Amino acid sequence: MDHLHDSGGCPKLFLLATGDQDFIPLIQRIVVEGASVVLIVASTSKLSPEYRSIASQPNITLLSITDVVELRPIPTVSGERSGACILGLLRLCMSGGILGGAQDRNTKLLVQWDLLTPRSDEELEVEALIKQFAKIEQRKVAVPAKNPTGNKTVHARRTLLNFESDIVTQTVADADWVLRRVGNKNRFLDAGDLGVGRFRDDDGTRLDKVLTSLKSVGWLSERPDGKLEATLEWPTDGLLEPLWCVICEINRRAYEQRSEGVARDDLFQDLRNVQIGHDGDRRGGKAAKDVIDLARRIGIIDSVLAGRDGYALAVIETHPIARQAAGYLRALGQVLDTKVGQFMPEHEILRLMRDRDEQAPQPVFGHDVRDRQQVLRVLRRSKLIEKSNSPEAEYKLKRSAWLRKLLPGKDITIPIGGINIAE
């Protein structure tokens, strides 16, 4: 408007780089004063009818940004680098990074970890990694209010590591399996020792890829004798067990209370008093806070309204990691069938779990006894399984409200055959 009324006269040409229809009155004023207007928009196909109408008038030219700027395609990664990049994004989340919004801190960390291509456009490469391996969700969440009327619900934008992607899921699961085994300080392993279980049918290609990725991200190192050593803190916990603990603890309480979520303080108190994973030293307030925060950054849990002035944490049941945890409980209930609520020797439960997986196209409980013991450990620490006081290790799967929800029906007697637990 200052230019329109300049004492030296109105310019003959205005260029506006916007597709916002709020600029329509300004465009009309410019044309009335006798000047021409060039409108540059991101996409001519996504304009409002009002904007498209004004752009069709004489003395107005409409251009797409691709008509005036040569845009380079966003780079993608493949092969061995894809695994390192996926674990790099996960490491960002584990170190407090958020994949949405400004990425300055994340970019610095990825540079520090040597995970970006040398001499590349670092900001563009980080954006490309997020575009390739993350996804954006719109979620209805609770946010603190700034006045006495209590919290409110908003539609929030979440940028999350995309566990719906097969390559993301496989990379994280492969890394988790390797770390839990290499983390055993009583026996150092080499690559040849890992060609079993999850990698039994692998020709070495997938195992080599995940080992290279773990080394690149700084979670694994190779000693001079060829043995592998985990450098990640709490490696025997892997990457997934702590998250399953959060999911099981929230859902156990929520279904018992018939609430959508649980108070963060209650969840915190529950988790601080138990071992978070396989490692017995990983417990206490800091460990509980860290795993709760990580579950939020990964997108497994989010905030929901609780009463007038509070909020609670709820599991996002559609998240693949949440579905996996629910699948463990559902499958164990199906395996035990009429024995739910009864104490059974651990070895007998493990045998039934093994038999179940051997009959299925894809294993539910894992690939070896260590994987199956991990499932029992997670459920026991979440009070979904009870351990007896007898000298022999005996466990009882409780008739919890969550289990009844997963296996509706009298006495939780659902046949095993023909059910796809993974779904």
Mean pLDDT of 60-75: 85
- What is the DSSP code (8-state) at residue 197? G
Residue range 255-272: average pLDDT? 91
Per cent of the chain over pLDDT 90 is: 67
Query: Per-residue pLDDT for 414 more than 70?
Result: no
pLDDT > 80? residue 220: yes
pLDDT at 130 > cutoff 70? yes
Tens of pLDDT, residue by residue over 14-64, are 999 998 889 999 999 999 988 999 999 988 888 888 999 999 999 999 999
Contact 374/324 with Cβ under 8 angstroms?
no
Predicted confidence band of residue 398 (pLDDT cuts 50, 70, 90): very high
Give pairs for 90-96: CB < 8 Å, separation 24+.
90/161, 90/172, 90/239, 91/217, 91/218, 91/219, 93/161, 93/294, 93/297, 93/298, 94/294, 96/293, 96/297
Spans of all domains in the chain: 13-68, 77-233, 240-423
Confidence of residue 280 (pLDDT cuts 50, 70, 90): confident
pLDDT in tens, 139-163: 888 876 665 555 677 888 899 999 9
- What pLDDT score does 144 carry? 67
Average pLDDT over all residues of the chain: 89
- Residues 80-100 pLDDT 10s: 899 999 999 999 999 999 998
